[in-house]
Amino acid sequence: KAGVTQTPRYLIKTRGQQVTLSCSPISGHRSVSWYQQTPGQGLQFLFEYFSETQRNKGNFPGRFSGRQFSNSRSEMNVSTLELGDSALYLCASSPGTEFYIQYFGAGTRLSVL
């Protein structure tokens, strides 16, 4: 079974631009969560989608948004990029069993110049 796939692996953008990151969960998984990892703040929860509905959202500004498609693939969008958005963005999928185990992708490294 293929793991969680995130594309692209690396991105370089300039301030003010917008970016879209993609995540394909493990086949059969219906929950997709997004996290931001920075050296200073560590791993922080962005949002979680289940069956195309956002169920939970972390404490991030509205510039961060996401969506989930009917095939469970998810995208995350960041508009009006700031230097502080430079981070590793990780996606996790879960089968939706009662144990809530999470499986992570390799991440997308975003650099904002």
- Rounded to a whole number, what is the distance in angstroms from the first to the last CA of the chain? 37
Adjacent-strand bridge partners of 37: 43, 88
CB of 45 to other proteins, least distance (A): 5
CB of 3 to other proteins, least distance (A): 9
Q: Decide if residue 58 touches other proteins (CB under 8 A).
A: yes
Sign of CA dihedral 43, 82, 86, 62: positive
CB of 82 to other proteins, least distance (A): 22
CB of 98 to other proteins, least distance (A): 9
Q: Decide if residue 73 touches other proteins (CB under 8 A).
A: no
Q: Decide if residue 56 touches other proteins (CB under 8 A).
A: yes
List strand residue ranges (DSSP E) for the chain, in order: 5-7, 10-13, 19-24, 31-38, 42-50, 53-57, 64-68, 74-78, 87-94, 103-104, 108-112
Residues that bind other proteins in the complex, under the rule CB under 8 A: 4, 6, 31, 33, 35, 42-45, 48, 50, 55-56, 58, 88, 90, 92, 94, 99-107, 109
